[in-house]
Structure 1
Amino acid sequence: MVDLSIVLWAAIPPLLLLGYYYYRIPFAPPLLRLLMFFIIGAICGILALSLEWIFEIVANRFVDWHQIKRSLPGTALRQLVEIGPIEEGCKLAAVVVPTYYLQRKYRLLPSTVFLFTIAVALGFTAEENWIYLFHGTASIPDRIIGTPVHAMFSAPWGYALGIYISSHTRLNRDKKFIFRAWLNSVICHALVNVLSIAWGYSLPLRFLSYGLFPFLLWMFWRLEQLLRKVQGKPVITLISDRTIQRRYWQRSLVLFALVLGGNAIFGLFLLARKITPLSPSKLFDTYILWFIFSRFLLNLFFGVLAWGIYRYLRHSARRRYF
């Protein structure tokens, strides 16, 4: 029998995020149509899982695939040739097929196709959440913080597809743009998965895990920038200086802000992981309270510092252009 609480924890966070993007986009498609794409995304998640299972059976006939994927290079290879292409391919098909029929009746805006992509990705996330929670291989906080990840993966090809479908003159280079964007999504998908499991390996490979949240933060920034572009809004400029030296300095600040902000989020995530198993009575222990307070303030300091760098770069760009 299906545990209703698991289904709710799996589906509600992606649905809330879908609602957030729905209300942010003017002239959004009907909510029921978005829910249809959300359900299609969940179904394509089951299809992707089946294709991955078939891939591994076939691969094991030629090589010892299970042995290969135990090492970090083998894991990276598996992500690049199996997980990334299958999952991003299924999501792309889940957007293209229904959109192909809808465009016969309606004039689709780039923002509409982009929102369809987000809906499919979040439906895929809901199915993946249910698999992890049902088998007990991930906690609820883990899955909640990973809610936007599939949408961030698919944002590049969602943007490219939206531009292509809404264009009056569909050129061959636009199709190539979709493929390049999809390939970019596959690589980012693989890289995130490799970084997320790097902590399980011995040093120095374990240090790769500290690159995960800065990279996720950059992908979230890219998603927001693409969302602005499909709505016809100007992108937010951070690197604005004309001289090469100053531009390198601003790029370094952006990278530093990503490292600080990403690992501040990572620190809060680890803190939540440590205190979640504790009983409520233990949380009021003096030592534990001090530990929570000190770690929270430390990560908050790094997060505020990253935000300050971001505001400084935005202010510098505004001063230059206005």
Structure 2
Amino acid sequence: MADFSLLLWAAIPPLLLLGCYYCRVQFAPSLLRLLLPFVLGAMSGFVALNLELVFENVANSVVNWQKIQYSLLGVALRQLVEVGPIEEGCKLVAVVASSCYFQRRYQLRPSSVFLFTIAIALGFTAQENWIYFYHGTASIFERSIGTPVHAMFSAPWGYALGIYFSSTMVSHQLMKLIPKAWINSVICHALVNVLSAAWRYSTPLNFLSYGLFPFLLWMFWRLEQLLRKVQGKPSIILISGHTSQYRYWQRGLVLFALMLGGNAIFGLFLLTKTLSPLSLSQIFELGVLYFIFSRFLLNFIFGFLAWVIYRYLRHFAEHRYLIRNL
């Protein structure tokens, strides 16, 4: 019964997120058809786990692979040559298999292939959640907040595959997009894992962890932009200055907003993690309530400033668009 409960907690957040994306895509495949890629994604997660174990055994027989990973540079090397390529490769194969299977029966849209990518990535996440829960190495909250991460990793090559499968003619240019997008995903995958591991090291390396949530926020923005593109919707424009100097200023504002917004989310994540061991009676103690209020207010201000910057850039871009079309 306990194992079934863990399975539910592992699968429900990814399934709910899949349902959200399903509702947002016009002319989406039926939800039942998306469940097949979801299950295939979970299976690809088990395949990736076993391939990583094989890689570890082979690498340990050649060099002291475990000792190399004691440093952050070693962690980065492992992510770039082992974890990123294996996990993104298994997901890619699963998406190609799903797309080929459905292409024999239906005319696939770019948005359908992109949804298959999200479904497989979320199935992969569900399998990963179950492994973490079974071994007790992560909490439900920690895994729930990371639910969209694998979908964010795979978005570039999912978009490239969507364009390729929906094209009426085979193009070498389209074929070249897929490996480039896949390499991009591997690098982003590795970078996120390195930044998430940085807090375990001494200063100044642990400061790298403050770049994690801004980078995740940027990847979520990229996922949303690619989702709009595969549906034929215009991209949301933030950089719209008339001169190069003003465009650099706007890029700086975007970076600042990502830092503010990302670390506001990071601060709320740390606050929740700090409070999770406390009982309900302890939370309502005066000192704890003051701590909660002060930390929440600080992170709310950071998040609000990020939203104000975003609205300013959007207003400027929309204003310029209206003037241009008068």
Smaller-chain TM-score range?
over 0.9
Work out whether 1:280 is the aligned partner of 2:267: no
Q: Which residue of 1 aligns with 2:92?
A: 92
Query: What is the root-mean-square deviation of aligned Cα atoms in Å?
Result: 0.8
The Cα of 1:71 is off from its aligned counterpart by 0.8
Contact 2:80 2:186 in 1 (8 A): yes
SS in 2 for 1:3: helix
CA distance in 2, matches of 1:16, 1:22: 10
| Partner amino acid, structure 1, of 2:82 | E
Q: Which residue of 2 aligns with 1:162?
A: 162
The Cα of 1:8 is off from its aligned counterpart by 1.2
SS in 2 for 1:240: coil
SS in 2 for 1:235: coil
Q: Which residue of 1 aligns with 2:68?
A: 68
Q: Which residue of 1 aligns with 2:133?
A: 133
CA distance in 1, matches of 2:294, 2:170: 56
The Cα of 1:173 is off from its aligned counterpart by 1.5
CA distance in 2, matches of 1:2, 1:289: 33
CA distance in 1, matches of 2:174, 2:84: 22
Contact 2:98 2:116 in 1 (8 A): no
Paired residues for 1:30-109 under 5 Å:
30-109=30-109
CA distance in 1, matches of 2:289, 2:8: 31
The Cα of 1:242 is off from its aligned counterpart by 2.5
Identical aligned pairs, as a percentage? Answer: 71
Q: Which residue of 2 aligns with 1:172?
A: 172
CA distance in 2, matches of 1:281, 1:74: 44
| Partner amino acid, structure 2, of 1:70 | Y
CA distance in 2, matches of 1:249, 1:91: 38
Q: How many residues align?
A: 322
Question: Is there any run of 5+ residues in structure 1 with no aligned partner, and where?
Answer: none
TM-score, normalized by length of structure 2?
A: 0.98
Q: Which residue of 1 aligns with 2:218?
A: 218
Q: Which residue of 2 aligns with 1:293?
A: 293
Contact 2:109 2:162 in 1 (8 A): yes
Q: Which residue of 1 aligns with 2:204?
A: 204
The Cα of 1:2 is off from its aligned counterpart by 5.6
Paired residues for 1:211-290 under 5 Å:
211-290=211-290
CA distance in 1, matches of 2:210, 2:12: 29
Deviations 1:181-225 (A, max 9, x none): 000000000000000010000000000000000000000000000
CA distance in 1, matches of 2:137, 2:64: 24
Q: Which residue of 2 aligns with 1:143?
A: 143
SS in 1 for 2:104: helix
The Cα of 1:78 is off from its aligned counterpart by 0.2
CA distance in 2, matches of 1:281, 1:3: 30
Moved more, 251-260 or 172-181: 172-181
